Amino acid sequence: MESKPNYAQIYKSKSFRHLMHKKKRFLLPLTLFFLVFYFMLPVLTSYTDVLNKPALGPISWAWVFAFGQFVMTWTLCVMYSRKSRDWDRDIKRIREQAGREEA
C-alpha cells in the first residue's frame, strides 16, 4: 500500500491522456481569452479615445468595459468550477485504477 504509484504507467494510461486533453482544451483558449480581454482595456485607453464616448448617459464605455472585466472574472470562475467537477470524476477513476494495479 505504501509503495509509490506507478507514475509512468498512469501517465501513459488512456484515462489520464483523456483528462489532460480535456483540461488543455478548456484552459488554453480561455486563458488566452481572459489575457486578451484584460489587456484590451489599457491598450484601448492608452492609444485611443474610443472608450471615452458615452455609453449610458454620463457612464462612458471605459467604465462599461471595466465592469465587464468583473463580470468576465466571475463568469470564468464559475465556468472553471463547473468544468473541474467533471475532471474530479476522472481523477477519482484514475486514482482507483492506480490503487488496483498497485495491489
The 3-class secondary structure across 47-99, one letter per residue, is HCCHHHCEEECCEEHHHHHHHHHHHHHHHHHHHHHHHHHHHHHHHHHHHHHHH
Among 39, 50, 89, 101, binds other proteins (CB under 8 A): 39
Per this entry, what is the length of the chain?
103
Q: Is 40 in the site for other proteins (CB under 8 A)?
A: no
Contact between residue 62 and residue 40 where contact means Cβ atoms under 8 Å apart: no
In the complex, minimum distance from the CB of residue 100 to other proteins, in angstroms, rounded to a whole number: 13
Residues that bind other proteins (CB under 8 A): 5, 7-8, 10-11, 16, 19-20, 23, 27, 30-31, 34-35, 38-39, 41-43, 45-47, 51-52, 56-60, 62-63, 66, 69-70, 72-74, 76-78, 80-81, 84, 88, 91, 94-95, 98
